[in-house]
Copies of this chain bind each other. A is one copy, B any other.
Amino acid sequence: MRRSAILDAAEAVFAEHGYNGATLEEIAERAEFGKGTLYNYFPGGKEELYEVLFEERVVGGLSAVVEAALPDARSLATPDEARAAFHDFVSGLLHHFEANRSVLRLYISEAPRAFNDPDRMTMMVRLFEGFMVTVTRAIARAMDAGALRPMPALPVAHLLIGNVRGLLMAHIASDCLPAGIHELPPLVPDETADFITTVLFDGLLARD
């Protein structure tokens, strides 16, 4: 109870101000507890709080989405099956992040932090390994079955995830701007998933 209230407040504050800009004071104030209490639940202080938050909410959310859309048991043998599955995956990601904007911000903000510290990067790679492996394996299965043409699967996974991240970042940016400037139409997860899936599967070239 307390623990999750602390995590809720931390999620909001870290998302709003970033790791460095967030203060324990503000987190404590928002969740209505004293700063000292935090150390009962997270003895490692700010860093541990952030790590737990990241692992439980960011990595946990991504894992849930990928396991729902791309389980190893799902057949990806035909183009239509593959298209449907990856559409579900993209749509799941978009719905998840649409409903959890602050988790999205944590996700986007983490990469630069990891660049500055090999230990943190190692941990991040470990945390995301399961997610990346599942996505990559799904791509490889669809290729092996002949639904997708053979290519190195891992870079394709990076492209797919880069696509989703690119569009989401544009939407965060749009949200951050003062009203009226450079506004994007609101994110409609299913339409956006259609868009990404179509471009990714069929390509940009005009067809006869």
A interface list, Cβ under 8 A from B: 16-18, 20-21, 79, 105, 108-109, 111-116, 118, 121-122, 124-125, 146-149, 151-152, 155-156, 158-159, 161-167, 169-170, 172-173, 176-178, 181-182, 192, 195-196, 199-207
Of B115, B146, B159, B192, which is within 8 A of A199 by CB?
A: B159
22 contacts between A and B (CB under 8 A): A18-B113, A18-B116, A21-B116, A105-B112, A114-B176, A121-B173, A124-B173, A125-B181, A148-B204, A148-B205, A149-B206, A149-B207, A151-B199, A152-B195, A155-B192, A155-B195, A156-B204, A159-B199, A161-B166, A162-B166, A166-B166, A201-B204
Contact check, B118 vs A108: say whether CB atoms are below 8 A apart: no
Number of copies: 2
Q: When chains A and B are docked, how far (Å) is the Cα of A205 from the Cα of B169? A: 27
Chain B residues within 8 Å of A20, by CB: 20
Q: When chains A and B are docked, how far (Å) is the Cα of A116 from the Cα of B195? A: 29
Shortest CB-to-CB span from A115 to chain B, Å, is 6
Of B147, B205, B206, which is within 8 A of A206 by CB?
A: B147
Chain B residues within 8 Å of A205, by CB: 79, 147-149, 201-202
Contact check, B108 vs A112: say whether CB atoms are below 8 A apart: yes
Taking each of A116, A162, A173, A202, which has the highest tally of chain B beta carbons within 10 Å of its own beta carbon? A162
Contact A125/B166 with A20-B20, A109-B112, A146-B206 known, Cβ cut-off 8 Å: no
Q: Which 7 A-B pairs have the closest CB atoms?
A: A162-B166, A203-B203, A109-B112, A20-B20, A149-B206, A121-B176, A162-B162
